[in-house]
């Protein structure tokens, strides 16, 4: 069994922030690609995509991470972290930090 280190609080918050801001453009592009072009998928940003279904009848279903819930959890984390720490975190997430 591999010794896998669990992510810390800040890493989890960064991941939540990324998911809350992820776009859906590449997921829609994925749904429109014919199967023979699926070899180029590694360049797509599919972080927000949680489920992809293509039915036999051609119907496509895409499900995404719940942004509202992620933002609620980030706000809750902010309430428990202190305002100064949250401001530093958000600045870092926006690329304004150190």
pTM above the 0.85 mark? no
Predicted confidence band of residue 98 (pLDDT cuts 50, 70, 90): very low
Pairing of strands 60-64, 49-54: antiparallel
pLDDT, tens only, 24-83 = 888 888 888 776 766 667 778 888 899 999 899 989 999 998 888 888 887 787 777 656
Reading the block at residue 59, the tokens are 């119907």
pLDDT at 94: 66
């Amino acid at each position: 069994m591999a010794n896998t280190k669990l992510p810390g609080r800040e890493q989890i918050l960064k991941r939540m922030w990324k998911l809350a801001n992820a776009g859906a453009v590449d997921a829609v592009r994925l749904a429109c690609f014919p199967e023979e072009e699926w070899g180029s998928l590694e360049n797509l940003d599919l972080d927000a995509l949680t489920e992809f279904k293509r039915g036999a009848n051609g119907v496509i279903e895409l499900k995404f991470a719940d942004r509202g819930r992620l933002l609620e959890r980030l706000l809750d984390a902010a309430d428990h972290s202190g305002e100064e720490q949250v401001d530093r975190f958000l600045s870092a997430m926006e690329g304004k930090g150190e």
